[in-house]
Amino acid sequence: MAACVITALVGCGGGSGSSGTSGATATSTVNHVPVVVDGGPPQVDAVNILYTTVTVCAPGSTTACQTIDHVQVDTGSTGFRVLASALANGLAPSRLRQATDANGNSIVECVQFADGYSWGPVKVADLAIAGETARNVAIQVIGDPAYPSSLIPGACVNIPNAEEDTLLQFGANAILGIGNFVQDCGPYCAQPGVQDGSAYNDCTSVAPVTCQPAAVEPSAQVSNPIASFASDNNGALIQLPSISGSGATTTSGTLTFGIGTQSNNKLGAATIYTLDPNDGTLLTTYAGVQLSQSYVDSGSNAYFFPDAGIPACPDTSYFYCPSSTLSRSGQLQGISGKVKNVSFVVSNADSLPATDAVDTGLAGPSGSTLPQSFTWGLPFFYGRNVFVVLEGATVSGVQGPAVAF
């Protein structure tokens, strides 16, 4: 069985920083939450998607709240994005404060992923995850009927017919983007005159609603909740166990906030690999080819890389289907020059049992839109402690953005 692709696109950086925080030591905050890889919400047939639970509240409220399960944990994007349909079960989107520009127009965002795009307003909410709280943080509500698909700018449509505004299209009730950047676009989206609607837009608040491209300051952009925590705010750690064999029905692990701030998030023997401060990439050398736009991304459900010698599956070109499991390796290199050789396997995506939500060898071609990319997706995380260091934060003398494992 071949799973649908759910891949996140790393956001732009640009030195906006995380207030220079190094993640002040916290001794009493519960900084960890369970994560699970399973088949996803009802009607979703997910493979290699990492989920957790997040509580969303109206700003300042302890009662106007809703706990959202099956929230995808994504190190390849920035910000919390929730389906309007998921909120409608307990906390209507209208209960969250609408983000507006200086003229009172609503800020509405297009977010582009590697496999599609989503559209919806920017709202302000409080987010509670484990014992951590991000207050008055900008989030996106996807598929809000107040801003229908008819308003989506043409520049937003990165892949025709790939709008991801419903549960079946999105594959999760929400995404928790805990990538390396504090804002999801940064200084670029604050530049007037260069916006085309592919990111932020201003939409009128009264009918007939119209939208136009807008420049939005970083402080008003959808932002990484971790950067808003009172402590444990310099990054995160994902811990997943090794998988016996090529697959499993499910597996579980832990998402821990902060790096070196408590006894449960120390680097230990992990090595830090610095990333490009503009886009969070590092270098991967695979089969003698240097792929400069490479990512470590829990939001991608497979390894994605170019290899014309591995046949694609007959039913979908998204994944590889070799006749037998292949052993491969690649070399990751951070901007600072540190390197790591990583071995992995490529399995036949169509051979995965229908009951399995875990596939350690799921892989596919990176595609024409990302020819210089090697995506180290969720299979890379099995059996590893993977740290994500925020931009502007310093861990063991190294300034983020960075990853460590």
- pLDDT, tens digit, for every residue of 196-214? 999 999 999 887 889 999 9
Report yes or no: 179 and 10 within 8 Å, Cβ to Cβ: yes
**Share above pLDDT 90 across residues of the chain, in percent, rounded to a whole number:** 80
In what helix (H) or strand (E) does residue 129 lie, and over which residues does it extend?
strand 116-129
Cα distance between residue 241 and residue 352, in whole Å: 19
Cα distance between residue 169 and residue 116, in whole Å: 9
CA dihedral 215, 217, 218, 219 (to 10 degrees): -140
**HSE toward the beta carbon, residue 372, CA cutoff 13 A:** 7
DSSP, residue by residue, 348-388 = -GGGS-TT--EETT-EE---TT-TT--EE-HHHHBT-EEEE
Mean pLDDT of 101-111: 94
CA 326 to chain centre: 28
Bridge partners (DSSP) of residue 391 are: 400
Cα distance between residue 227 and residue 212, in whole Å: 29
As a whole number, the mean pLDDT across the chain is: 91
Q: Which token pair is 201?
A: 């837009």
Domain boundaries, the chain: 32-228, 266-404
Buried b (16+ CB within 10 A) or exposed e, 185-194: bbebbbeeee
CATH class, domain 266-404, is mainly beta
311, pLDDT greater than 60 = yes
pLDDT of residue 29: 84
Cα distance between residue 239 and residue 387, in whole Å: 9
Nearest to residue 89, comparing CAs of 167, 148, 162, 178? Answer: 167
Q: Which token pair is 141?
A: 């509500």
- Read off the pLDDT band of 21 (50, 70, 90): very low
Cα distance between residue 240 and residue 193, in whole Å: 44
Report yes or no: 219 and 56 within 8 Å, Cβ to Cβ: no
Which three-class secondary structure state does DSSP give residue 277? coil
Bridge partners (DSSP) of residue 32 are: 256
For residue 116, the tally of other CB atoms under 10 A from its CB is 22
Nearest to residue 91, comparing CAs of 148, 159, 144, 163? Answer: 144
20, pLDDT greater than 80 = no
For residue 61, the tally of other CB atoms under 10 A from its CB is 12
In what helix (H) or strand (E) does residue 167 lie, and over which residues does it extend?
helix 167-170
For residue 98, the tally of other CB atoms under 10 A from its CB is 20
pLDDT of residue 317: 81
Cα distance between residue 225 and residue 135, in whole Å: 9
Q: State pLDDT tens for residues 251-301.
A: 999 999 999 999 999 999 999 999 999 999 999 999 999 999 999 999 999
- On the question of a common fold for 32-228 and 266-404, the answer reads yes
Cα distance between residue 205 and residue 327, in whole Å: 55
Q: State pLDDT tens for residues 152-188.
A: 999 999 888 889 988 998 999 999 999 999 999 999 9
Cα distance between residue 353 and residue 2, in whole Å: 10
- Read off the pLDDT band of 6 (50, 70, 90): very low
Report yes or no: 184 and 231 within 8 Å, Cβ to Cβ: no
**Share above pLDDT 70 across residues of the chain, in percent, rounded to a whole number:** 93
To the question of pTM greater than 0.75 for the whole model, the response is: yes
Domain 32-228 CATH assignment equals 2.40.70: yes
Which three-class secondary structure state does DSSP give residue 189? helix
What value does the CA radius of gyration of the chain take, rounded to a whole number of Å? 20
